[in-house]
């Protein structure tokens, strides 16, 4: 077993001890989670919450209602999420595709995971991170989500010069921890919490829960001690 495979369980335990169990992804319905996963691209969740609230107030927080709506009506509602012209069109087209071909989101998400993932990736506006977020949180199927926080943390902890490819990092993590939907969701949330509060672009290494095992932090300490 490689070093990364042995170490991801240690990373999880350190983060879980610091942050506790994290209940993520926010959303009251499957439709809301699905829509949120698309809107959160290239923006903060705080902005997505504003868009979700707008859609809810307008009675449009569902796949069917968005599919039936005019794009011009969707645009101002999701404006807080940024790129709202592009996102409105993509969101409508995705929702229209699902309703036309499957009738409902639940039928679409009930497909076996490899088939569902390939179909999600075939839709304009959905990449690997968004597809895997939908699969894990909306469909409730075990696949690990790799986001920017995860990439940055792993690169620093292992002292790597460049980021691993999405599929490679995903494979390393899932080989190093038990296959569990609950664990995958919590570990992903742990990376998000760490990235927002400690492993930022300008990191706060001294108080970071991974300080003792992080090669980036080790180099910082060595520089200070010289």
pLDDT tens-digit series, residues 211-220: 999 999 999 8
CA distance 55 to 53: 5
pLDDT digits (tens, 9 = 90+) for 27-70: 889 999 999 999 999 999 999 999 999 999 999 999 999 999 99
pLDDT at position 6 is 53
pLDDT at position 22 is 94
Between the alpha carbon of residue 103 and those of residues 79, 96, 97, 114, the distances in Å are 27, 10, 9, 21
**For residues 210 and 222, which has the higher predicted lDDT (pLDDT)?**
210
Residues 49 and 9 in one domain: no
pLDDT digits (tens, 9 = 90+) for 115-158: 999 999 999 999 999 999 999 999 999 999 999 999 999 999 99
Q: Give the pLDDT mean for 185-196.
A: 96
Residues 6+ apart with CB under 8 A from 64: 95, 99, 104
Final residue of a structural domain among 138, 159, 193? 138
Residues 79 and 42 in one domain: yes
Cα–Cα–Cα angle for 87, 92, 96, nearest 5°? 150
Looking at every residue in the chain, the average pLDDT score rounds to 94
Which pLDDT band, with edges at 50, 70 and 90, does 87 fall under?
very high
Residues 52 and 133 in one domain: yes
Pick from 175, 194, 191: nearest CA to 3: 175
Residues 67 and 165 in one domain: no
Give Cα 201 distance to the centre of its chain: 18
CATH code of 157's domain: 1.10.1670.10
Is the pLDDT score of 174 beyond 90? yes
Q: Give the pLDDT mean for 153-164.
A: 93
Which pLDDT band, with edges at 50, 70 and 90, does 223 fall under?
confident
Residues 53 and 129 in one domain: yes
Residues 127 and 40 in one domain: yes
Contact assessment for residue 194 and residue 148, using Cβ atoms and an 8 Å cutoff: no
Residues 66 and 92 in one domain: yes
Residues 43 and 14 in one domain: no
- First-last CA distance in the chain: 35
Q: pTM of the prediction?
A: 0.93
**DSSP letter (8 states) at residue 78:** T
Final residue of a structural domain among 138, 158, 193? 138
Residues 6+ apart with CB under 8 A from 221: none
Domain that holds residue 123: 30-138
Residues 163 and 123 in one domain: no
Q: How many CA atoms lie within 13 A of 152 on its CB side?
A: 15
pLDDT at position 118 is 98
Residues 124 and 40 in one domain: yes
Domain total for the chain? 2
Is the pLDDT score of 1 beyond 60? no
pLDDT digits (tens, 9 = 90+) for 75-84: 999 999 999 9
């Amino acid at each position: 077993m490689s070093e990364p495979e042995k170490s991801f369980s240690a990373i999880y335990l350190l983060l879980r001890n610091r942050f506790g169990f994290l209940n993520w992804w926010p959303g009251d319905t499957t439709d809301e989670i699905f829509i949120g996963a698309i809107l959160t691209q290239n923006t903060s969740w705080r902005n997505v919450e504003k868009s979700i609230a707008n859609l809810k107030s307008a009675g449009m927080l569902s796949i069917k209602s968005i599919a039936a709506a005019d794009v011009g009506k969707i645009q101002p509602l999701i404006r807080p999420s940024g790129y709202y012209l592009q996102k409105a069109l993509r969101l409508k087209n995705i929702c229209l595709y699902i309703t036309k071909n499957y009738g409902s989101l639940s039928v679409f998400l009930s497909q076996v995971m490899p088939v569902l993932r390939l179909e999600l990736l075939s839709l304009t506006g959905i990449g690997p991170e968004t597809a895997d977020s939908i699969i894990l949180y909306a469909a409730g199927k075990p696949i690990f989500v790799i986001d920017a926080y995860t990439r940055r943390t792993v690169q620093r902890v292992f002292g790597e010069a460049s980021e691993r490819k999405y599929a490679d990092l995903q494979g390393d993590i899932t080989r190093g921890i038990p296959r569990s939907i609950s664990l995958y969701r919590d570990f992903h949330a742990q990376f998000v919490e760490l990235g927002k509060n400690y492993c930022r672009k300008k990191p706060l290494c001294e108080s970071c829960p991974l300080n003792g095992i992080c090669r980036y932090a080790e180099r910082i300490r060595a520089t200070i001690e010289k």
